[in-house]
Amino acid sequence: MAERAEASLLARVRPGRGARVAAVLRRLAAMPARDPFAFAGLTIYAAFVLVALFADLLASNPPLEIVFTKAGRLAANLPPSAEFPLGTTNLGRDIYAQLVFGTRSALAVGLSAAIVVASVGTIVGLVAGYFGGWFDTVLMRIADMALSLPFLPFVVVLTGFLGASTWNIVLAVALLLWPNSARVIRSQVLTVRERAYIEAARVTGARPWRILFIHVAPNILPLSFVYGAIAIGWAIITEAGISFLGFGDSTSVSWGYMLQDAFSSQALSRGQYHWFGPPGICIMLIVVAGFFISRGYEEVFIPKLRD
Amino acid sequence: MRLVLERFLHNAGALLAVTTILFFMFRLMPGTPLAAYINDNLNADQQRLMLEMFGLDKPMWMQYFIYLGNLVHGELGLSFFQRRPVLDILLEVLPNSLILTLTGLVVAYIFGVLAGAWLAWKRGSWVEGVAVPIVLASRAAPEFWIGMVLLALLSFNLGWFPSGGANSPGMFYTSEWQRLVSLDYLQHLALPVLTLALYLQGLPLLLMRSNMLEVMHEEFVVMARMKGFSQWRIVIRHAARNALLPVVTAFALGIGISMGGNVVVETVFSWPGIGRMLVTAVANLDYPLAQGAFLMIALVLITMNFVADLLYGVLDPRVRHGRAG
């Protein structure tokens, strides 16, 4: 009974779900023309996803296999050629193959960190913002604390001591990044909470958890997306930095592993730009794509930000 | 005054929390903290004696308060590997880190503020269309990778700068001060500073640009324009001064944040600073040294957060007179 009253009241104070979905889709479809930045970002992401999916087809050599020239000699420090588009490492490994397979570990790190950051941040932000009280105070104090830890040193200490694994890096990144999203989502919840249709739902006797997840949550999901997109880039950069410092997982080939390998094998003094250049450019592209998308989605989902 | 006290307590609380996290994090690490001292040659009694000597037989909560008490006295323990007080080791390298960070930030902020104001001026032109993506890209590049490219290009390829360290081997100085102002030191400093500045300039640039765009529409700027002041005078005297406020706060925060980021830059350039010290200590499982280095970085970060809070209050009257908390 209460739910039907709630529904009929809601129908009067806010547009139906179908209309809202259609509006969002319309704005998404108009995005390439209206926001070329966001479109470029999505294109970059799509390209990397394709490379990661078809890595086996794109690269013929396994990334850590030592290759030999046709004459049967170790193919070490070769410049770029038709056979090895980016040349080979000092130990005779195919740099192009490493770059292609590195896409997989980059996306794995980035996406898993993004999912954790977005979901933890969303749940904490929702609950703290909606219910308030001591629960809110405690959660926000924990968030303050996490934000006053120096980022990279914390990840170094955690992965250095817990062991060099990709998951420890994801864990460390997630531990430090959720407060940002939780705070912003919390403040958004504070304003959504006061809107007429929430008030209406409350008056009709809907239970708090139902209001929170059915009526409040959809309004802040776009923000979760934005913080997820930002976390992808952060996680990939952090993984690269940690691998560079020597605390990465040495069994999986990532872009950070490649940079560390190049750095410690004197690729810099030999001027092998084709070795240490591409991994850095890939990281840069994927992070820039995140910037572009978070900017674009903000405009699609939170129209008030549009001029 | 109430605001100052409140922010102080807030940040002091954060510092206490960080030291607490650190204490338990290091206690939960695999292996006993005495791994470097105790070996199989010692019999059980000797091992027990050793544990007592370091206070490790006491309950955890007691160890925690002893640890806090020691911290207040600046007692950070002995490094496992160097067998010297951690504080001495850290104070030796701290100046290098501070000089690197501050110089890098000053260069980045001078450039960023000027370029940001200029870009706001160029709003809507092709310059903006080219410059903004470049700035975004510079913020997206990994800090250590910028360092690697500069190192390969300017040091190995062109030979303009030394490739690492803070001083050439074999140099001798009569005092620490003389070392820091020597030409040799400055040459070694140049490349890490350039890396840091390139990486950091994006934030003040974008901040300054958006602040300028906002301020240009404020009433007092419109007023100045109506009074017939020249464009240049309006930009410098009226708009820029107000647009600068958030940038100043960002600068203070930047000191704390880049001290943490120095971990990678100092490693690329073998710069003997606190970040590199942390990395080597963790790699060597030198718990006391790692703990001390981490605390030192956290202390700088939290102090700078406090300074930024204060600056914000001093520079923006709305915060000072507004409600506290």
Query: What per-residue confidence (pLDDT) applies to A116?
Result: 92
d(CA A258, CA A272): 13
**Tokens at B57, concatenated:** 């037989």
pLDDT digits (tens, 9 = 90+) for B252-275: 888 888 887 788 888 888 888 888
* Weakest-pLDDT range from A6-15, B59-68, B75-84: A6-15
Q: How confident is the model at residue B37 (pLDDT cuts 50, 70, 90)?
A: low
Higher pLDDT, A222 or A74: A222
* Amino acid in the structure at residue A70: K
- Which sequence spans correspond to the domains of chain B? 2-72, 86-324
- The radius of gyration computed from the CA coordinates of chain A, to the nearest angstrom, equals 24
Query: What per-residue confidence (pLDDT) applies to B70?
Result: 76
Report the residue of B145, B153, B258, B270 to disrupt the A interface, i.e. the one with the largest count of A CBs within 10 Å: B145
Contacts of A142 (CB under 8 A, 6+ apart): A179
Mean pLDDT of chain B: 77
* Cβ within 8 Å, pair A149-B259: no
d(CA A302, CA A288): 21
- Which B residues, 3 through 32, put their C-beta within 8 Å of a C-beta on chain A? 10-11, 13-15, 17-18, 21, 25-26, 29-30
d(CA A289, CA A295): 10
Contact A276, A259 (CB under 8 A): yes
* Amino acid in the structure at residue B131: A
- Distance (Å) of CA B288 to CA B57, B166, B291: 18, 25, 5
In this predicted structure, the answer to whether residue A128 has a pLDDT above a threshold of 80 is yes
- Which B residues, 150 through 189, put their C-beta within 8 Å of a C-beta on chain A? 151-152, 156-157, 163
d(CA B251, CA B108): 10
**Bridge partners of residue A74, in order along the sequence:** A68
* Cβ within 8 Å, pair A145-B18: yes
Which chain B residues contact residue A288 at CB under 8 A?
A: 133, 136-137, 140
Contact A126, A216 (CB under 8 A): yes
Contact B147, A245 (CB under 8 A): no
* Cβ within 8 Å, pair B282-A157: yes
In this predicted structure, the answer to whether residue A10 has a pLDDT above a threshold of 60 is no
* Amino acid in the structure at residue A21: V
H helices then E strands: how many in chain B? Answer: 15, 0
In this predicted complex, what is the ipTM? 0.81
Contacts of A246 (CB under 8 A, 6+ apart): A260, B279, B283
Contact A87, A234 (CB under 8 A): no
* Cβ within 8 Å, pair B141-A280: yes
Mean pLDDT of A109-115: 90
d(CA B39, CA B144): 39
* Residue of A186, A168, A165 lying closest to A176 (CA atoms): A168
**Tokens at A197, concatenated:** 């249709």
Q: Residue B260 is nearest to which of A150, A276, A279, comparing CB atoms?
A: A150
Which chain B residues contact residue A153 at CB under 8 A?
A: 260, 263, 275, 278, 293-294, 297-298
Burial class (CB in 10 A: 0-12, 13-18, 19+), A10: buried
d(CA B75, CA B295): 12
Mean pLDDT of A170-183: 86
How many other β-carbons are positioned within 10 Å of the β-carbon of residue A222? 16
Higher pLDDT, A6 or B178: B178
Which chain B residues contact residue A141 at CB under 8 A?
A: 13
In this predicted structure, the answer to whether residue A302 has a pLDDT above a threshold of 50 is no
* Residue of A117, A132, A156 lying closest to A235 (CA atoms): A117
Query: What per-residue confidence (pLDDT) applies to A307?
Result: 34
Query: What per-residue confidence (pLDDT) applies to B30?
Result: 59
Mean pLDDT of B155-181: 68
Share of chain B above pLDDT 90, in %: 1
3-state class percentages of chain B: helix first, strand second, coil last, to nearest 5 = 75, 0, 25
Contact A220, A22 (CB under 8 A): no
* Residue of A251, A212, A210, A237 lying closest to A291 (CA atoms): A237
The minimum CA-CA distance between B174 and chain A, rounded to whole Å, is 33
In this predicted structure, the answer to whether residue B313 has a pLDDT above a threshold of 80 is no
Contacts of B99 (CB under 8 A, 6+ apart): B180, B189
The minimum CA-CA distance between B110 and chain A, rounded to whole Å, is 24
Task: Report the CATH superfamily, name and number, of domain B86-324.
Answer: MetI-like (1.10.3720.10)
* Residue of B181, B147, B148 lying closest to B166 (CA atoms): B181
* Weakest-pLDDT range from A17-21, A251-255, B245-249, B296-300: A17-21
Q: For the CA atoms of B67, B70, B71, B76, what is the dihedral angle to 10 degrees?
A: -90
pLDDT digits (tens, 9 = 90+) for A77-108: 777 776 777 777 777 677 787 888 888 888 88
Start-end of H helices in chain A: 2-13, 17-29, 31-34, 36-53, 55-58, 95-131, 133-147, 151-162, 166-192, 196-203, 208-210, 217-244, 255-264, 273-301
CATH number, domain A2-47+95-306: 1.10.3720.10
Furthest C-alpha separation in chain B: 89
Query: What per-residue confidence (pLDDT) applies to B107?
Result: 92
pLDDT digits (tens, 9 = 90+) for A25-44: 776 666 666 677 778 888 88
For the ranges A172-181, A197-206, A207-216, B303-312, the one whose mean pLDDT is highest: A172-181
For the ranges A59-68, B123-132, B227-236, the one whose mean pLDDT is highest: B123-132
The reply to whether B307 touches chain A by the CB within 8 Å rule is no
The reply to whether B253 touches chain A by the CB within 8 Å rule is no
